[in-house]
Amino acid sequence: MKFLSTFVTFENLHEVRRLCHWGPIIALSVIAICSTMAMLDSIIWYWPLDTIGGSINFIMLINWTVLILYNYFNAMFVGPGYIPLGWKPENQHDAQYLQYCRICQGYKAPRSHHCRKCNRCVMKMDHHCPWINNCCGHLNHAYFTSFLLLAPLGCSHAAIIFIMTMYTQLYERISFGWSTVKIDMSAVRQFQPLMPFSVPAFAATLFALGLALGTTIAVGMLFFIQMKVILRNKTSIESWIEEKAKDRIQHYQTGEEFIFPYDLGGRWLNFKQVFTWSGTPKGDGIVWPVHPKCHQHTLTIEQLKQKADKRVRSVQYQVVEDYNGACCPLRKGLQTFFRTPCTEEPRIPLSKGDIILATRGTKWWMYGDKVLNEEEMKAGDRVRGWFPRRCVEKCHYDTAANESTSDKKQTTVLDWPTHWPDFTPLENLRRRIKETRSSECR
Ligand SMILES: [Zn+2]
Ligand SMILES: [Zn+2]
């Protein structure tokens, strides 16, 4: 156990329950199948004890497996780092620039987001990864990305072994005379192998080859995405915030210039923030180095503006048909059944008369927040998710029922602190929102 704990840091032993989820079960099964089959096939194809080449091949296989598992378990058990429950900024004045998380009963530090799966606010959250059944964030970003690099490398090596084994076995272990192949093929056992290569062994090798090739392509693509995130120092969520910031500025024509604050201006500088020799990334996950023209709360203020803007611009819908919250509802039409969004985001059950503030949608499904009564709001509840489009009808702004909501929206806009930093022409933005609202209401 001591030996194990030097490799894998268990923050809490109860974290082991993260293994009981389809993601880690499938991921570990694929690792187990590919590495076991690669080792067995190596014994048949390239017996490790006879030649240096065979030994190197076998040692490398073990090496891949150990490195992949080391990074995988660290990504899972070290975790992304969570903002302490009930966290407040050191300077109380700064709290006004931050969002409050009702579930964690604390403020959301810059770059952190609340993950519904982990049920905590996660430091520099990128996304919740079902394969590690944990979030990818500040502390495990390097382990996660190393895993994404090593898994395709290991799988490519395994795939070569599978192909060579099948090739040599199918063609009766013919001797290789390829001048292009640099491996010393004379060393390959050309007589009866130690293990018989039967039809089931062939089928198992073919299956493992499929898994290895699939993993190489899928995980390899994820690696490039994560490298882009690291080299720009901009998480997937932050890319989305930036996009919305540009959209907001264009929509209200406020004349603001949005500078993403965490890009340090060089790929190498950004890379060194995440990858360090000690394995622990730079920083405490709360205070971040920023662009000279920005400050610690540049992005959090932008998020607050977007939140208010979202309320103003979200479209109100009334539920006209009950919905039980099923992923693929049988009674809502074939298109709704087959076009269910491929996401782990929840579906929300609806009852006739409910009001929804929709923020996005597809042709057959919509995503939004259910408008809750005051008691539910006080309890910190939030009901947000997908529902079939045919269950709702758009509310018109000129209906009496909507008057109260538009008042509420107006209040939201006016509730913004008047003393936000001067670099944003906030008054101008407020005026633009008011204008947009009044023209929409007409
Ligand atoms: Zn939270
Ligand atoms: Zn999570």
Q: What is the tens place of the pLDDT at every residue in 59-94?
A: 999 999 999 999 999 999 999 999 999 999 999 999
Q: Is 369 helix (H, G, I), strand (E, B) or coil?
A: strand
129 in catalytic set = yes
pLDDT at 195: 61
The residues that bridge with 366 in the sheet, in sequence order, are 361, 387
Quick check: 140 and 226 in contact, CB under 8 A? Answer: no
Residues with Cβ–ion distance below 5 A, ligand 1: 101, 103-104, 114, 121
Q: What is the tens place of the pLDDT at every residue in 265-286?
A: 899 999 999 999 988 899 999 9
pLDDT at 166: 87
Ligand 2: centre distance to CA 44 (Å): 43
pLDDT at 252: 84
Element spanning 384, H or E: strand 384-388
How do the residues of the chain divide into helix, strand and coil, expressed in percent and rounded to 5?
50, 10, 40
Quick check: 141 and 123 in contact, CB under 8 A? Answer: no
Look up residue 398 and give its amino acid. Answer: D
Quick check: 43 and 50 in contact, CB under 8 A? Answer: no
Q: Which two tokens stand for residue 297?
A: 């709360």
Ligand 2: centre distance to CA 120 (Å): 8
User: Measuring CA to CA, which residue among 79, 70, 217, 82 is closest to residue 146?
Assistant: 70
- Mean pLDDT per block of 10 residues along the chain (442 residues) reads 52 76 95 94 80 88 96 94 94 92 93 93 94 95 96 96 86 48 47 65 92 95 94 92 89 86 93 92 93 93 89 84 90 89 86 88 88 76 88 68 40 38 42 50 40
Ligand 1: centre distance to CA 351 (Å): 28
Ligand with the closest atom to the CA of 126 = 2
Ligand 2: centre distance to CA 26 (Å): 18
Ligand with the closest atom to the CA of 104 = 1
CA distance 105 to 102: 5
State the catalytic residue, choosing from 115, 118, 129, 155: 129
CA dihedral 143, 216, 18, 273 (to 10 degrees): 20
Residues with Cβ–ion distance below 5 A, ligand 2: 115, 117-118, 128, 135
Enumerate residues 6+ apart whose C-beta is below 8 A from 292: none
Ligand with the closest atom to the CA of 76 = 2
CA distance 238 to 229: 10
CA distance 205 to 212: 10
pLDDT at 351: 92
Ligand 2: centre distance to CA 192 (Å): 52
pLDDT at 322: 93
Ligand 2: centre distance to CA 42 (Å): 38
What distance, in Å, lies between the first and last C-alpha atoms of the chain? 70
